[in-house]
Structure 1
Amino acid sequence: MALGRPILATAVGAIPEMLEDGCGQVVPPGCPRP
């Protein structure tokens, strides 16, 4: 996030809350494709 790069992460734990709006995409765990 500090480098301004997009992030792809799974929606587990507190990860969705840590991502700022517009900096990445959150996908459900076990999702084969975003």
Structure 2
Amino acid sequence: MTELYKAELIKMLDKLSERALKRLYQLAEYFYIHRE
């Protein structure tokens, strides 16, 4: 695996995890608001 490929992969994973974290945060917020 080339260094460039690794760098691109890491960037992609960063974006994915960021999006996943935002979604998790939104879900947590939703459940917190609607917990009654």
On whether the aligned pair clears a TM of 0.5, the verdict is: no
TM-score for both structures, normalised by structure 2: 0.18
Q: Rg bigger for which structure?
A: 2
TM-score for both structures, normalised by structure 1: 0.18
Q: Using CA pairs under 8 Å that are at least 6 residues apart, name the structure with larger relative contact order, 1 or 2.
A: 1
| Larger fraction in helix | 2
